Amino acid sequence: NGTILKSVDAGVNWAPLVSGTTEELLDVSFADALNGTAVGKRATVLTTTDGGATWLSRATPLAGDALGVSAPTAGTGFVVGPGPIIIKTGDGGATWSQQTPFDQKLQGLVFPTAAIGYAVADNGSGLKTVDGGATWSALSIPTLENLHAVDFADANTGFVVGRGGIVLKTADGGGTWASLPSGTVDELFAVSFPVDASTGFAAGKNGTIIKTTDGGASWASLASGTLVDLFGLDFSDNSVGVAVGKDGVIVRTTNGGSSWSTRSSGVLSDLNAVQYTSDPNLAFAVGQSGVALKSTNGGQDWSAPLVTNTTKELESVNFPVDALTGYAAGASGTVIMTSDGGTTWSISGTPTTTRLNALAFTGLTIGVAVGDGPTILHTEDPDYEWVDLTPGVENIWALDFPVDNLTGYAVGKKGSVLRTTDGGNSWIPRPRPTTLNLVDVDFADNDIGYAVAKDGVILKTSDGAGSWGSQPSGTTKDLKAVQFPLDATTGFVVGQDGTILKTTNGGSTYAAQTSGTTQDLYGLSFPIDGTTGYAVGKDGTILKTTNGGSTWVAQTSGTLEDLFGVVFPVDASTGFAVGKNGTILFTSDGGATWGGQTSGTTEDLYAVDFVDNLLGHAVGKNGTILHTENGGTGWSANASGVTHTIRDVQFPLSAVDGWAAGDGPVILKGNDAPLATFSVTGTVFEDVVGDVLNDGVVGDVNNPGVASVDVHLYLDADADGIAEATDPFQSTQTTDVNGDYAFAALPAGSYFVVVDSLDIQPAAGIDTGNGWLVTDVWAEQTYGPGTSECADGAGGTIDDSSAGPCYGGRRAGVSDDLATWHSGAEHLAKIQLVAADATSVDFGFSFNVATTTAGGDNRDDDPAATQRTVQGSMRQFITNANATLGANEMRFTPANATNDAGGGGNWWQIDVSTVLPTISGADTDVVGIAYDMNDGASPIDPNSNGPELQIDGNSMIGGEDGFYIIAGADGSRIESVAVTRFPNVGLIINADNVSILDNHVGVSPDGVTASGNNDEGIIVSLAANGTVIDGNLIGDHGNAGISLNDTSTNTQVTGNTIGTDAGETVNLGNLQGVWADTSGTAVIGGTTAADGNVITNSAFDGLELRNTGPGISVLQNSIHTNGKLGINLVDVGDPATGITPNDPGDFDTGANGLLNYAIVTSATVLAGTITVDFDLDVQDGTHRVEFFLNPGGADPSGSGEGESFVSSIDVSVAGGVPTPSSHTFSGALGDIVTATATEGSTAPFGPTS
């Protein structure tokens, strides 16, 4: 009676306190003298903060008596109730959360009998049931190791295995356990005692298989023939067995494990479980990605993967009775089932998304599944329902507000009954009339009600659920729905196998009616009176009666999906039915015809209710609540805030107040005032440079909005954040002139925003004058809003939590393809509309980024367009630059990992197998400097030896060149790339003012590995003017490293290393270093140290000049160790040595005017100074004479080379008279001196001194 006594003198005297309740109180706990909690019957929980002077009644999740309490500190308390269930508060009782007493991941399951079952879990935990899984008690297993598998030879004798090679045995049904010597420390994942408790097998890591023949007293290791982990094991008898495991491995024995043979699975997916059926020839194995295999000859051979209709990982398989009906369970709460021996499989809906690790059926349809969480599910009809039996979870299956929106009832698992009298603000547990699950309830008024359950149970209360009495149903069939449409006298009940019952005397007797079907019936609706009514059920069954159930007529539903709920809200004409896979049906002619409505979900729907013919709700799996305001013409998803299955919904009077209830337990209260709607707005912009707004903001000149781009919106129907084919299309918006788009009036929910990149056009415009089309260009994503799906840089995809860089879109190297949007869209963001609009959902794209090493071949990812190839590739950048007006510089921001390495460095290699597009657009810059994909601005340098980007032509089969810069591509640049192994020439320049800077040509990015192009490295040809070739490493070519041809002119070759590595330690020689056969001018080197080139290791000449006239200057270079001459002016009259002799007065003509070389007449050394006397027999003019030392020794030709420039002097010649001159510079005795002379053209090296 709510008694609370208090003593202030150590218990000598006691005084009663006012508790505010008359419920029996069972326990009390005080944290200190002021803060305490008292608990008792009917979920009573009271708290005080003033030493008991006042007590507050607290609402909690308890559905039964509060049995005990502990309040260790002020504000913190724990209460325990039946189940067991433990609830906790951290705020003095204002709110409570449910705690799970058993919180281990359940991994193994076995039912040796229909009633007795065992489950094992992590940390040595285990559970046992003796009532077919309805209730579970904890086992005391003496280990803390994770337990993976369990098998019982009979109801009492069983074995468990797990981590560390542990094997435990019980002979008394789990009462006590003994540890057995397994002989291994390898983790064991599976155990099988196929015949009795004597002979058994276990399998695990590293191909381990062990065997016992003495009930586990001793174990012998068997040679499995594999070292991969084995996850599943089963035997058809003590001789024939199969083990399955990682990477699709299957091994089989026919002699009790003495020997094992490897069998071909045909898959590389991990196989997690295997089972022999009642037919020893038939076996099934399941594993990753929904793989299921079948053997029809005892595991000798295995079929191709069966069509399971799931890609979820499968962890367990069970064929309980025969070889036809079987089940498999796995990730995300997946259960699949077959009734034809695995030929076809269907999905069985479960109320969980947690991983199911094991399942066991004790009959064709009665089964249990266990998994993470922990999770325990039970079914007696897997085609219809799985019930969550996890300890502490009291699911609610049905609710009813019979008269108004104040008094209501909810019923559910294990006979739980709740009542509210204040419009659902508080729910009070009422006495449980049964331990069976109550699946439906209907009250005729606020006092008289009926509830139904399995086994033909019908219960009645006449005092508002204070007490219940059993009614004679006359059947043992499971009952699913009950309705008393007018009063407490006449009612109907439907259920298993087409059962329909009717009472006209308040349930004193029930008469079976002829339904005309054997299909299970799940839902019932009599809209006006007891005359016209409807029942729905399995496989799309709909029945109608117009004579109070005397006869029932089947109606054509047009579906084979199970139907679970039906309602005719106003009259017998207009009605709605809901069911499996999001099915919603509608009739307006009393069921004569039924049509489907688009629900927008594939979740199972269990109940439907309408206020009138327009305003309605449907509820179902994974917290689904759907809403319509137009009679189902359009349905939208409401945010329920839960992921549990919702099983019933009711709006008793109007659209003002409604309730939904289901697993968890959860009771939701809703108000159907006009739904709040939201908008999604954003901008599609061109990131011109490709630096993700490091140069400005969205909409400015560097990042202009793009008009006429289609942006699509899809509803994430199951709110799982995964784009799927079942997620319905909502609408398309096209960006305006500023690149802005907007989706308005959207219900709360989860959405996907998808941008069609094929619509994006460059702000600079298309070069239509040269025949380019808008369909030739293709921009790649650089920027995305928060919750974008973006490449992770390692070959995968991440959900980016904040707006910013999103190089390469969803996946690097994959082009946008909206034909299958859910799998093909590359530019996608997830949007949650809950409490506010989604703004700044911006997407940035650039025509100038290269984000992938794909596209080396001429892959055609957009067959409808002629020039498009691979989005985000270097190949597509070149096409973009050719087609776009203005300057374009490639920004290499790789969104995939480096794919080549050497010399301590890493880099990205593009493997070119088909010819690259010619570079035809002016100011096109191919730059291989790599930028960090995480900010778009920071250069990264994983290769200190050279470029981060290699363009390799080794896979090409024709005579193709690398980069071909044709006339018109003036001002273009190739910088910081390695151009290697092309069948012909590395680079060809036919345009003006082209720069070739800091590249490796014919040399790997490691700087030392010869990777020459088959012909020349670089050719400057035709009328190319102003070419700059600077800072390159050029080597290993079949012809010249650099070739200057035709009328090309004003070429500058400076700062290059030709024929060796940067340290001049590796021979990377070309046939010639530089070849010139041009009528134009060129400067090889220059007048500063930085201008000079290193030209060495050529098989022939260092420089071979065949130009038709004067004009090639060779200045301040290091030319040495070449196979022939350092500088060879080729003339038809040359002697065999190739040295063109001087002619008196230098009147001859030819290459470089056949300029006479300087002749050193004497060289002396004094105090570290060399004085050189020389003659210069040349035409009038000022000539630059350069002197070189040759520490490598004199050239065998005697004409010399010039390894180390030391000094120069300008000499003026007049009157055609040979001019003796002298010059001094630093040196030592023994130095070998050579000289060249230049006056516009350069002479060969003169004789050595």
Chain centre distance of CA 751: 17
**pLDDT (0 to 100) of residue 855:** 87
- Fold exhibited by the domain 4-99: Thrombin, subunit H (2.40.10)
The pTM of the full predicted model, rounded to 2 decimals, is 0.55
**pLDDT (0 to 100) of residue 392:** 47
Sheet-wide strand order for 76-81: 68-73, 76-81, 85-89, 97-99
- Quick one: 255 exposed, middle or buried, by C-beta within 10 A (0-12, 13-18, 19+)? exposed
Amino acid of residue 261: S
Q: Which H or E element spans position 1001?
A: strand 1000-1001
- Fold exhibited by the domain 264-390: Methylamine Dehydrogenase; Chain H (2.130.10)
**Bridge-based pairing state of the strands 1000-1001 and 978-980:** parallel
Dist CA 560 CA 383 (whole Å): 12
Phi, psi of 473 (to 5 degrees): -80, -25
Give the sign of the dihedral formed by CA 887, CA 893, CA 896, CA 898: positive
Q: How far lies 368's CA from each of 322, 645, 800, 1000, 1126, in Å?
A: 18, 18, 39, 66, 88
Dist CA 884 CA 1026 (whole Å): 24
Cβ atoms of residues 93 and 77 within 8 Å: yes
Ranges in the chain, pLDDT < 70: 61-64, 82-85, 97-104, 134, 373, 383-385, 387-394, 426, 654-656, 664, 670-676
Q: Do domains 677-846 and 1155-1242 have the same CATH topology?
A: yes
Domain boundaries, the chain: 4-99, 264-390, 396-670, 677-846, 898-1132+1148-1154, 1155-1242
The three state secondary structure string of 208-267 is CEEEECCCCCCCEEECCCCCCCEEEEEECCCCCEEEEEHHHCEEEECCCCCCCEEECCCC
Q: Which H or E element spans position 823?
A: helix 821-824
Task: Classify domain 1155-1242 by CATH architecture.
Answer: Sandwich (2.60)
Structure tokens at 20: 């505010």
Q: How far lies 980's CA from each of 892, 903, 1002, 1065, 1076, in Å?
A: 18, 17, 5, 20, 22
Cβ atoms of residues 1023 and 997 within 8 Å: no
Minimal CA–CA distance to 974: which of 984, 986, 985? 986
**pLDDT (0 to 100) of residue 891:** 98
Give per-residue burial for 1031-1048: e unless 16+ CB within 10 Å, then b: bbbbbbbebbbbbbbbeb
**pLDDT (0 to 100) of residue 387:** 65
Q: How far lies 91's CA from each of 72, 77, 81, 95, 902, in Å?
A: 13, 9, 20, 7, 61
Q: What is the SS3 assignment for 821? A: helix
Give the sign of the dihedral formed by CA 459, CA 462, CA 467, CA 472: negative
**Dihedral in degrees, nearest 10, Cα atoms 1139, 1145, 1148, 1154:** 40
The three state secondary structure string of 847-899 is CCEECCCCCCCCCCCCCCCCCCCCCCCHHHHHHHHHHECCCEECEECCCCCCC
Minimal CA–CA distance to 41: which of 56, 63, 62, 26? 26
The three state secondary structure string of 628-695 is ECCCCCCCEEECCCCCCCEEEEECCCCCCCEEEEECCCEEEEECCCCCCEEEEEEEEEECCCCCCCCC
Task: Classify domain 396-670 by CATH architecture.
Answer: 7 Propeller (2.130)
Cβ atoms of residues 473 and 479 within 8 Å: yes
Dist CA 299 CA 366 (whole Å): 27
Q: What is the SS3 assignment for 414? A: helix
DSSP annotation of 1089 reads G
Minimal CA–CA distance to 1027: which of 1007, 1000, 1054? 1054
Beta bridge partners of 521: 537
Q: How many residues does the chain have?
A: 1249
Determine the CATH number of domain 677-846: 2.60.40.10
Q: How far lies 382's CA from each of 387, 665, 811, in Å?
A: 10, 21, 39
Q: What are 661-679's pLDDT values in tens digits?
A: 888 677 777 665 444 578 9
DSSP annotation of 834 reads S
Dist CA 891 CA 688 (whole Å): 10
Cβ atoms of residues 241 and 258 within 8 Å: no
Cβ neighbours of residue 728 under 8 Å, at least 6 residues apart?
Answer: 598, 600, 714, 715, 717
Per-position DSSP letters for 580-617, written without gaps between them? GGG-EEEESSTTSS-EEE--S--S-EEEEEESSSS-EE
